[in-house]
A and B are shown apart, each in its own frame.
Chain A
Amino acid sequence: MKKTNITIGAVILIFLLAMMTVSIFYTPYPVTQMNIKERFSPPSPKHFFGTDNFGRDILSRVMSGSQTAFFVGALAVSIGLVFGVLIGALSGYIGGIFDEITMRIMDAMLAFPGILFALMFVAIFGVGIKNTITAIGIMSIPSFARVTRSSYLQHKEFEYVKSAKAKGASPLRIIFFHILPNVTSPIIVSSTLGFARAVLSEAGLSYLGLGVQPPYPSWGRMLNESQVFISIAPWYAIAPGVFITLLVLGFNFLGDGLQDLESLK
């Protein structure tokens, strides 16, 4: 009970990370190699997850799809983290009108369905990996901001902060040098859960055809492409679906486990 969540999460993620790393250098078959003779082959020793409608090896495509998932997830979460923490820290520490206004904006962003926002963004700025990352990143800002803000609200009343003020430290100095090192845990937990959300969002967007475009591989797009063929080649849809689920589960387990650890302290 104590550490199982973290262990399970870590195991899953390590496995997927390993798969991703390997895929950079090697996949059983070239990702784009077509072989019409072998189209729609079910899973076999030759093609572990079978082939798609162009005879491409699904395992290889799934492996390289993980690169997109991790890459998009990492960058999007980074955007969310950097801006979210900044906004949350300033808001929580400064308080007053600034805090009120900022939080109302964050509330509005949270209330707005994420996928709708991403759709709007992409409709205005166009599809593609860059805009996918930006859209998902912006969507992630409010939750980081909230988490950071509540930590700062708490900590700014602590005596070590009053001590720092009494020594003459400026507010910015206190925010970044004194308080920030103390609030990293909830931010880390948010990051893991945020990563899961980002992966799911990317898959959703790509499924709709509005996210990552060819030639970049994407599990979401594979799901879209496989839909038509679901009755004759279900393995085509199952493979990316399973991996999306695994990755999201992995991060969720890890995040939950870390959260449990935090609450035990």
Chain B
Amino acid sequence: MNEKLFEIKDLSISFKKKDEHFFAVKSVDFDIHKGEIVGLVGESGCGKTLTGLSIIGLTPGDAVISGQINFKGMNLLSKNKEERRSTRGKSISMIFQEPMTSLNPLMKVGDQIRETLLINMRIDKLQAKQKVYEIMKSVGFADVCNLYKKYPHELSGGMRQRVVICIAIACNPDLIIADEPTTALDVTVQAQILELLKKINLETNSSILFISHDFGVIKEMCSQVIVMYAGYIVEKSCIERIFSNPIHPYTQALLKCIPAPEKKGNPLFSIKGKVPSIYDNSEGCPFFNRCSYALERCRKELPELREYEPEHLTRCFYAEEKNGKTDS
């Protein structure tokens, strides 16, 4: 296994409202190895975006973060603002979902890519411009000289996202956090972008944390998958096993919901109830009132993450009982 680049331990993110803390991310543990593409999957409100933001240090000002984010041996959460800022763009970069709003509408796209070079590297403007041309070519842009001078509104969604990717890879970061990078794009453009990301990962060995709600995309891109629900990690596995043997009832249910050719003609499986709100501080398993396999103890106790197969962990009492892993 490659060297461990990031070690996220017991990460919790909460928001304070009138003296009470409401947790959006709870006790998240996972690792990212060098050159690995890790998928963080879940539906809206599960905490996946916040988790990604906490690694790069862009959480909202009122977020209270606890735990450790160990990068090359140092805990990023113990660093001050300046130190964290120095990692941004250089060691850790981010691709957001909406290319239109993540680019400055008043700045030429080439200059925006160049800016990240000028901030993070010792390089003069002219050299930087040349490097920008190289980067633009590497992502498949033709006619880079003309493209450099264009403004974001003159480009299509796919092209804008490619510019965002240029900015993200400009300084050869160790980790690229991609938050739903293709959700706002057409299917054919999505295919292009996913191919590009795979190519970057292969050529530069940058790790990617791929955040998405789309299992199909995750399957295509990632080697490790983490499923989140209501702020918790409910299942963690290598890519093959999560589809061949999903253990957590939520994962199973989610996979069953997805429309597929063979399901045609029959009602789709749907999960009753809805996702608990952030203000819901009830104990026990967050999936309790929607789970077809819920046991009585699930109401009050929170299951631990346990390993069921090599590299396949899940957090479920029902799974424990089924596999004879109950506490003695």
Task: State if A and B touch, Cβ cutoff 8 Å.
Answer: no
Q: Could you tell me which B residues sit within 8 Å of A by CB distance? A: none
Q: Chain A residues in contact with chain B, CB under 8 A?
A: none
